[in-house]
Structure 1
Amino acid sequence: MSAALLLIDIQQSFEHRPYWSDEGLAQFQQHVLALVAGCQAAGVPVVNILHTDNDDVFRKDSGLVKPMTFLSHTPAATFEKRVHNALTESGLLPRLNAQQITRLIVCGIRTEQCCETTTRVASDLGFAVDFVTEATLTFAMQYANGTRYSADEIKARTELVLADRFARICTVNEVLTSLELEYAA
């Protein structure tokens, strides 16, 4: 099975949103960097996905639609999307199909939005998906009735709805171990 790592929306735009928080950022960065290094060592392509839209910090001319500064890898490819999933109208899907990629490793920003949506669409399209929650980042949210959900609660909910339906929920170590076994064979 041929795999690709998708780095979804790990871009500077988010650092300029009012909900931005450094909570969990150091661990997120550490996990993403470990995934990138492990995938590159295994020969798995690392693909950057960047979100663009008409919102001020997500406009291409904002200068913020570029990878966060902690990322220094050279991606196999970079795609831009204007919707919540990385596979619709970005050009990514034809590229994956042409390279006979059948497994996607998903990480990025926001856990419950673009990462989850990409996972659901990918599963519906027949991809095996490893969802690496510890290599996703999200932010606390408040529901209309005043109930506040922490980033950890949102991540737990995302795992609940994706597990064994749309994805295999994995740690970085689990993904890298499976790649070592798969690519060593």
Structure 2
Amino acid sequence: MTRSALLNIDTQCSFFHRHYWQETEFPAFQQALNELIRGCEALQVPVVDIFHVDGDDVFTLESGFVTPMPFLTHRPAVAFHKHVHNAFTDTGLDRWLRGRDINHLIIAGIRTEQCCETTARVASDLGYKVTFVSEATLTFPMTWQGVTLDAQTLRHRTETVLQGRFASILTVAQTLEQLA
């Protein structure tokens, strides 16, 4: 039997204070994530909040910004603080999941190609079945060597490298249908 949990990764106020923050895709992200959370709660799938904490000003606990974004009104089953890109290293998440016999993870949150993707890869390597709900992830354009990748391109790249290797890429509706 598959037991699932939703990992809501880094949906925290810290990002409002980063130079790369953009509102462009934020409304669609909010809607998709809220729909996914509500659907999981209705199906009694635990929602686990993960917050990134490090020494970077707005990501320190002392900053007061390592808190859920205001649109989030759910009560998580548990919350963990991570200090690296994935949600497993030194957090206790794996122990918590295995203690509840959870073997399927649904990934959503902020920085599609960083913390969400890295968590999906590690989860797969640890033996979890992974569903990556990219429409319920958010990212921002990135530039390297004079080439800028927009959020849509980064999302597509993440879907391409995860699909069939580390995760199944599903929409919110498809995820909730499979859970039901």
Q: Same fold (TM over 0.5)?
A: yes
1:142-181 equivalences in 2 (<5 Å): 142-143=143-144, 145-180=145-180
In the alignment of these two chains, the number of paired residues is 179
Equivalent position of 1:2 in the other structure: 3
Q: TM-score, normalised by structure 1?
A: 0.96
1:15-164 equivalences in 2 (<5 Å): 15-143=16-144, 145-164=145-164
> Deviation of residue 8 (structure 1)?
0.1
Q: TM-score, normalised by structure 2?
A: 0.99
Q: List runs of 5+ in structure 2 lacking aligned partners.
A: none
Query: For 1:59-87, what per-residue CA distance to the aligned partner results, in whole angstroms no more than 9, with x for missing partners?
Result: 00000001000001110001000010001
- Percent sequence identity over matched residues? 54
For the aligned residue pairs, the C-alpha RMSD in angstroms reads: 0.4
Q: List runs of 5+ in structure 1 lacking aligned partners.
A: 181-185
- Structure 2 distance, partners of 1:89, 1:96, is 14
- Structure 2 distance, partners of 1:81, 1:93, is 12
- Structure 2 distance, partners of 1:147, 1:51, is 27
Stretches of 4+ aligned residues off by more than 6 angstroms = none
- Structure 1 distance, partners of 2:82, 2:92, is 9
> Deviation of residue 139 (structure 1)?
0.2
